[in-house]
Amino acid sequence: MMRYHDRPGGLVAVGVVLLALTSGIGLWASPAAAQNPIKIGASLSLTGTYAALGQNQNRGYQLCAKHVNEQGGVLGRKIEFVLYDDQSQPATGVRLYEKLITQDKVDAILGPYSSAITEAVANVNEKYKMPMVAPMASTTSIFKKGRKFIFMVQSPAEVYLEGLIDVAAKRGLKTVAILNEDTLFPKATVQGTIDLAKQKGLQVVFVEAYPKGNTDFSAVLTKVRAANPDVLAASTYFDDAVAITRQMKELNVNPKMFGVTVGGDLPKFYELLGKNAEFVYGATQWEPELPYPGANEFKDAHHKEFPGADLSYHAAGGYAGCRILADAIKRAGSLDGEKIRNEILKTDTSTVYGGFRVDQDGFQISHKMVMFQWQEGKKVIVWPDELAAGKARFPTPPWSQR
Amino acid sequence: MSVTITPTMVGQVIVSGLLAGALYSMVALGLALIFGVMRVINIAHGTFLMLGAYTTFWWFHLLQVNPYLSLLASMPLMFLLGVLLQRTMVSRVVDAPELSSLLLTFGLSLALVNLTQLLFSSDLRSVEYLTGAFLVGPFALSKSRLISFVFAVSITLLAFWFLQKTKLGKAIRATSQSSEVAMVCGINVERIHLYAFGIASALAAAGGSLVAVMIAIQPEMGQVFTLKSFLVIVLGGAGNYPGALVGGMLLGLVEQLSSLFLTTQLSEAVAYVLLVLVLLLRPSGLLGGRAR
């Protein structure tokens, strides 16, 4: 069997080279270079199922290191990533964080990609009392198990469709039907959506789950049509979001509002569906256009540093999570885990990624989801009002007139 | 939180079931043909469907060829690929133990799927050609599915006519019934194998071209069709060609009706429970075993 640290060994080298490339020439006699760098450990999904997303997050981490170091580093020292590849496997992630903390003796850590891997890794940093800002985990339960050293950056699964429900309520709509893929994250979204609908006085008239990989939605959409809801909310990933939209047209299912969770935000969604994507609402954690502090600079820096690379919320979230950790270390004035933890709990700020404030459990209470609507091939943010760039086109016209 | 089921809804899903079923029948007929003639379960069957879908996609995307017209490209192309693979590889395992042919076709399918990923990436693609529906009274008939249905039924009927009436078709059926006797009667069995594999691949490719207009295309899309085709031929009676027709329609209806009365999650389970029941009660399939 291959010894697991053989592979990370190679990746450290790659990581160091990457860092050397991205952090420019580091040999100037700046004060930050005088001492050993602060080592921040992380493993990301650089290969495997989540590779594309993990690589995006990595770009956020690297850009953060560059910017922090350009601004004089932390505690008079530069920061440097020790980065491994967990191959999108939770078990590998656990081993790597164990190794980062005990063998590489990193000074601080940052979270991996995905809820599943974060959930697995959270027990490791908890054991060593090392605070972990986890930028890419949005499943509530991870943060509600009494763990003290994990901190959430994104909005939780439960509020993905808050915008859709809120706008529907404001427009005086009464009924909502919900469809979801039958897996952890979409199920959490459904529960949250049902609660939100009740709070806003909407009646949930139909809920049904479908298996992962389902391609034929005719029967379930026939039922939706019979339920005749004002709003159809679908808790999706990507393939299903596309298929449901197409088949709604085929079965002439046309609620006044139709929104999806994940997948609707990818440019590919519009590429595949063309005009049929018009009027569809989607939820997203972040969009490059949002007027958050420093967002433009971040966008430009990302574009300059990684020409041609996707700019997604994974990069922005990774960047923000890393900045929050760096600031907390600065304010703590030390690398002591307890002290850093206290500073993170006190943090109440707005980053390129939006608001950041956590409750005593480390659960995110400030970051806001936004909702956009596809309008003439562009994602126009229509909710919440204070961030909206345009008005929702309401209600959706018959399919034949799109 | 569910809805009351009305006769209109039942009518609507029966229509959807028949539309899907015709396609299953056509694709499964290919699998039945290979099994009937060679006793080989072709796990790569769905892969040919996927390649057919990509053929349609590229013709549509690069040359703006009408997707239905691209049947004229995807079917002959996959026929040739099928013949080539039969000649170079599958022919070696025809009389070998069943595991060899399973492994070979499984390997072929992996190789072709990965090659497709390498060449075309695993991005979803779609042929946005006919979206939307004809509204007939209370029913919505998906345009793309309705046209696919017409093509699937025509191609299947054509295949049956070919098997029943032409000399080559008769030779194929004779080989299905007994390859020794066929050989003794002067039929070149190896040649029949080539034709059978080619025709089967062309049928799968036709399925792919028609499906391409209905759902998104990606390199792994074929696997579910291999499974469904397998289900269909076991339901109808392995190696029994009319059985594939009955099995396909039945599968389409069962899937849709169980999604309606139960949930989409349970509909797959229902299809497989049906499979187990058929195997227990009528192991030779609904229409009985060997091809006639």
> Could you read off the pLDDT of A20-40 as tens digits, one per residue?
444 333 334 444 445 799 999
Q: Which of B123, B132, B260 sits opposite A219 (nearest CB)?
A: B260
pLDDT of the residue at A309: 82
B226 touching chain A per CB within 8 A: no
Q: Which of B16, B131, B132 sits opposite A218 (nearest CB)?
A: B16
Q: CA-to-CA distance for A280 and B165, rounded, in angstroms?
A: 52
A247 touching chain B per CB within 8 A: yes
Q: CA-to-CA distance for A105 and A309, rounded, in angstroms?
A: 32
Do β-strands A150-152 and A132-134 pair in parallel, antiparallel, or remain unpaired? parallel
Q: Are A151 and A207 in contact (CB under 8 A)?
A: no
A252–B263 CB contact, under 8 Å: no
Q: Which of B124, B140, B263 sits opposite A208 (nearest CB)?
A: B263
pLDDT of the residue at A376: 94
Exposed, middle or buried by CB within 10 Å (0-12, 13-18, 19+), for B167?
exposed
Q: Are B204 and B48 in contact (CB under 8 A)?
A: yes
The helix/strand/coil state of A103 is: coil
B3–A226 CB contact, under 8 Å: yes
pLDDT of the residue at A17: 43
Q: Are A152 and A137 in contact (CB under 8 A)?
A: yes
B142–A204 CB contact, under 8 Å: no
A226 touching chain B per CB within 8 A: yes
pLDDT in tens, B177-204: 888 899 889 899 999 999 999 999 999 9
Q: Is B1's pLDDT higher than 70?
A: no
> Which segments of chain A have a pLDDT < 70?
1-34
pLDDT in tens, A191-229: 999 999 999 999 999 999 998 878 889 899 999 999 999
| Max CA separation in chain A (angstroms) | 72
Chain A: nearest CA to B53, how far in angstroms? Answer: 15
A210–B264 CB contact, under 8 Å: yes
* Residue B126 DSSP class: -
Q: Which residue type sits at A214? A: N
Q: Are A120 and A93 in contact (CB under 8 A)?
A: yes
* Residue A152 DSSP class: E
Q: CA-to-CA distance for A246 and A217, rounded, in angstroms?
A: 10
B215–A268 CB contact, under 8 Å: no
Residue B50 structure tokens: 């996927």
A400 touching chain B per CB within 8 A: yes
pLDDT of the residue at A254: 93
Q: Are A246 and B291 in contact (CB under 8 A)?
A: no
Mean per-residue pLDDT, B233-244? 84
B264–A222 CB contact, under 8 Å: no
B131 touching chain A per CB within 8 A: yes
pLDDT of the residue at B290: 52
B268 touching chain A per CB within 8 A: yes
Burial pattern A370-398, b for ≥16 Cβ within 10 A else e, equals: bbbbbbeeebbbbbeeebbbeebeeebee
Q: Is B268's pLDDT higher than 90?
A: no
- Give, in order, the Cα–Cα distances in Å from A31 to each of A16, A108, A177, A326: 21, 21, 60, 17
B256–A218 CB contact, under 8 Å: yes
Q: CA-to-CA distance for A339 and B168, rounded, in angstroms?
A: 83
Residue B47 structure tokens: 């892969």
Which residues contact residue B98 at a Cβ distance below 8 angstroms, ignoring those fewer than 6 apart?
A: B39, B41
Among B223, B203, B202, CA closest to B78: B202
The stretches of A4-161 forming alpha helices (DSSP H) are 6-22, 51-70, 90-102, 115-127
Among B206, B175, B196, CA closest to B76: B206
Helices first, then strands: H and E counts in chain B: 11, 2
